[in-house]
Amino acid sequence: MKHQRRTPSHLPYKRKGKKKHKDKHKDSINIALAGNPNVGKSVIFNQLTGLSQTIGNWPGKTVEKMEGKLDFLGYHFNIVDLPGIYSLSTFTLEEIVSREFIISEDVDLIINVIDATNLERNLFFTFQLLELNVPIILAMNQMDILHKRNIDLDFKKLEKIFKLPVLPVVAVHGLGVHQLLEKAIEMVKYRHTHLNYENSEYEIPDLSVILSFGKEVEDKINDLIKGISADRKSVVNSHYPPRFLAIKLLEDDEEINKIFENHESTSDIIQLADSFRKELEEIHGEDISTVISSEIYNNINKIVEQVLIIQSEKQTKKITLADKLDHLTTHSIWGYVILILVILGIYIFTFSIGDFLGGLLDEEYGIWSESIYSLYGENLLGVKILWDGGVGGLIGAVGGVLVYVIPFFLIIEILQDSGYLPRAAFLMDRVMHTVGVHGKSIIPMILGFGCNVPACAGCRIMETEREKKISIVLTSLVPCAATMTVVMGLVGRYLGLSWVLFLFIINFSVILIIGRILNKTMPGTCTELIMEMHEYRMPNYNVIFKQTWLRSKEFVFKALPIIIILGITLEILLIFNALEPVNRILSPISVIWLGLPMAVGIFLIYGILRKELTLVLLALFAENLGLTLVELLTPIQMITFSLVTMLYIPCFATVIIIAKQTNWKYALQISFLEISLAIIIGGIVNWGFILFLNL
């Protein structure tokens, strides 16, 4: 492939001389996987790295970072799976993080994963990547689905147009995945040994040859490039090429504006860009982002027409089983019926397995405990701390949470890989907009009825930090199975289902009100739901199992140790009777405001470890006094106790997961909010019954 030579020395900014990490091996290659959401990036990532993966956050950010390593053909690969994004704008934190990483010194090569069944949308992001002048391999994924539609791509023509390697991939079956690494090795080896190459397929292409805007836009871009290039200091420090900077200045990109605002000599460029923007918007009658996007899509449409090969027009119109499923699951009536059945199925599947395994574990723990007590005595200090506190905390975390977390993530991965999950989000989008989030959040919220831990962890599927935070708050307010045990075991058993309904009305009213308040007060707006709804397909269980473990191991290695420590700490406090004074401290709230017996204060604290413990301990307390629960508590006390239990923080494990998804400050803010709500609303209900109903 022949094209104009553009060696690194000709670029206004320089990637050639960038410094490598001191600990980077000479045969190490750093690759970033970039692309739209749901195009198969994570599948390729899992196929390449297997279990050699780590999950963390970008430094100083709350955006999740996926990294993996592998050795291949004598080279050590460090691979980063970037967040799925649709553009390199700065509307979301994911876009900012991805853009900064792509042009950083940590990347040798970008593999741009493209959904071959939706070229128009995916190539928009490709063109933005090309503007950054970085080495790229285009991976055309889901070629199997394209072939089923009797459509193919002209790969030679694609490579000729983009002057980049373009490879076919079927990620779910691992086809073409290792060829990506082979091509990456070729590109990196060539660049290391041919610094003064003239013409090569491995050279960074000249974007102006591939993409040119209309004359008015191109003239403004070129004028801005001249002004930008005049101040070489700001350009070199930015790491961005001048053409990219010029386009982003026209689009009024906040992050790019900051680069020039920090230099007095370049302040005129921002003013010039502002005047150009207004002029172009007047000419076209649209905002500048729409103008530039339209120009890009015009180029994309021309390319798609050249490379798309339709093998049989008649066969492509044949209605397949996948088409019928798609129509049925997005239907205005049947779609919601199927959604309800799917959610019920998730609930039954998750908690049937969880209850069965948790029950077995609790039973075994009881047998083990009897053996330990018979050998060492039940009151031995070491037994209480290490066995009751440490092992008991571990068994509680595994048998009460982990056995639900793993089945939940397994079924969610199956639904995601098969293609159903985006359709469920589509159905609920309009409803969820009323509380400031879009349709995706309905899945973790409903699953919160089972367990808030995996439900809050599932909020990571939200695109923006704002929507993720709102979803976490709302999900944490959903009454989990443990809370349901308390409500049904106390109010449902002794007062009837009508009072249970009363409690649920209050609970869901709080969720609705809090959602609307957060929607109004949190900076930003709810984004529209933009999701790729790929064709239904058989899930790849090898990928699903790997992804399930990847999601679950964060709880295993991060949350479990904290829960064990908390269990030991709580047991020590009990041994030394350190919690008894807490009842006196809490009595103005628990006794005077909430109208509960003084001992209930400690039981509510126990509920932070596991909610059902509040009812268990309450029953034991009554038994020790020779009373029944009906004799111990009045009807209003039962209602108040259950309501407070429903509204205050779910459990320590949930708080830990919230902190991992956001940060500890936000987790503590949510905890304070929910405890305050529980106390305020519980007190209002208590005194409302006393003053107005004389109960």
Say what percent of the chain tops pLDDT 90.
11
Provide the pLDDT confidence category of residue 4 given band limits of 50, 70 and 90.
Answer: very low
pTM of the predicted model over 0.85:
no
- pLDDT of res. 590: 87
Q: Is residue 458 pLDDT above 60, yes or no?
A: yes
Which has the higher per-residue pLDDT, 183 or 46? 183
The CA distance from 384 to 237, in Å, is 60
The CA distance from 478 to 476, in Å, is 6
Mean pLDDT in residue range 106-110: 89
Long-range CB contacts (within 8 A, 24+) of 211-219: 211/127, 211/130, 211/295, 211/296, 211/299, 212/299, 213/292, 213/295, 214/295, 216/280, 216/283, 217/250, 217/280, 217/291, 217/292, 217/295
Which has the higher per-residue pLDDT, 7 or 72? 72
- pLDDT of res. 166: 93
DSSP codes of every residue in 508-545? HHHHHHHHHHHHHHSSS-PPP-----PPP----HHHHH
* Residues 311-337 pLDDT 10s: 765 444 566 777 788 778 888 788 889
Provide the pLDDT confidence category of residue 63 given band limits of 50, 70 and 90.
Answer: low
* Residues 574-614 pLDDT 10s: 677 776 787 788 888 888 999 988 877 877 877 777 777 77
What's the whole-number average pLDDT of the chain? 78
- Both tokens assigned to 398: 């595994």
Mean pLDDT in residue range 7-13: 35
Which has the higher per-residue pLDDT, 506 or 619? 506
User: For 8-206, which CATH superfamily applies?
Assistant: P-loop containing nucleotide triphosphate hydrolases (3.40.50.300)
- pLDDT of res. 202: 53
Mean pLDDT in residue range 39-67: 72
- pLDDT of res. 34: 92
What are the boundaries of each domain within the chain? 8-206, 212-285, 319-695
- pLDDT of res. 295: 85
Which has the higher per-residue pLDDT, 89 or 250? 250
- pLDDT of res. 169: 92
Which has the higher per-residue pLDDT, 385 or 35? 35
Provide the pLDDT confidence category of residue 94 given band limits of 50, 70 and 90.
Answer: confident
- Which residue intervals of 263-333 are DSSP H helices? 267-284, 288-307, 313-316, 321-329
Q: Is residue 265 pLDDT above 60, yes or no?
A: no
- pLDDT of res. 23: 43
- Phi/psi region, residue 314 (left: phi>0; alpha: psi -120 to 50; beta: rest), is alpha
